Amino acid sequence: MEYITIGNVKIKKTAALAPMAGVADTAYRTVMKSFGASYVVGEMVSIKGLAYSDRKSAELLTVSDAERPAAVQLFGCEPEFVPAAVEIAERYSPDIIDFNAGCPVPKVAGNGSGSALMKDPKLFGEMVSAIVKVSHVPVTVKIRAGWDSEHINACEIAHIAEECGAAAVAVHARTKTQMYTGKADRSIITAVKQTVKIPVIGNGDVDSVESCVSMYRETGCDLVMIARGSYGNPWLFRDIDDFFGGRPPQSPPTLDERLDVMTRQIELLVKCKGEYTGMKEARAQAAFYLKGMPCAAKYRGMCGKLTQINDLYELIKLIKSENTEL
């Protein structure tokens, strides 16, 4: 098995879990890690919010020992708030601090943060420098290909990150205007890899062992990162880990296995966030696991009405009773 090193953090060269706001919470990350994700990154947290001691922001920074190696992710565009935010973030003992300069959603990019920083290389550099200056752990940066097809500047931005002391850069090979549509352009990752000496993490359209292997082969990246391909599918990390570990492929999960892992994740979610909030957030998570099975549309519709953990148990009972042959 090969490994890469980010700062002083050793990571298996298999597949990592990408940061996903509203999806990759502690429960999600813990389950993905248990199936072989080599590294996980938490949901993004506002630097300014942390500096003002926002309780909700701080809750997103919790990292359990079961998740390690793990990063917390910060976003923002005001360097003056960085020292206070990093000091608070480090209380949660992350292995790495990741800076988000790639989020395309309007409420982030529209305020000058996330992928908007790719239009302002000077401010981007100031933010990375400010974080590196006060952080006691390695600092990585997540970027996109560029703002739009007319402004592809991932190589320039990655070079600035390296010059400012970043220990690695993750590249989502889509532009901001693409959001999550179209196809990721892997040639962007290749170009970034040829531009910088720090590790490059490739992200975009990896949803199988084959696409993971081809990402490594085509781009020369140091680590592959999976986002939406992991939805309801922690077995993807197991299969990738088996491939690189030289082990034969395992059988796809049975219906019972899928439902058992779904239950484990949602029970952990409820434990972390309480039944009211946990079950509200579990609706989408449960739907991920049920995609593609017989009567999936009906069951996913029922997921939208989950309010108590017992509702989940009743849904599972119904699914099993109606799919005895699976």
- Catalytic center residues: 103
Element (H, E) at 75: strand 70-75
Distance CA 127, CA 77 (A): 7
Residue 87: Cβ-neighbour burial (10 angstroms; 0-12, 13-18, 19+):
middle
For 195-225, give the DSSP string: H-SS-EEEESS--SHHHHHHHHHHH--SEEE
Element (H, E) at 4: strand 3-6
Distance CA 61, CA 88 (A): 9
| Cα-to-chain-centroid distance, residue 286 | 18
For residues 205-236, one letter each, b for 16 or more C-beta atoms within 10 angstroms of the residue's C-beta and e for the rest, the string is: bbeebebbeebbeebebbbbbbbebbbbbbbb
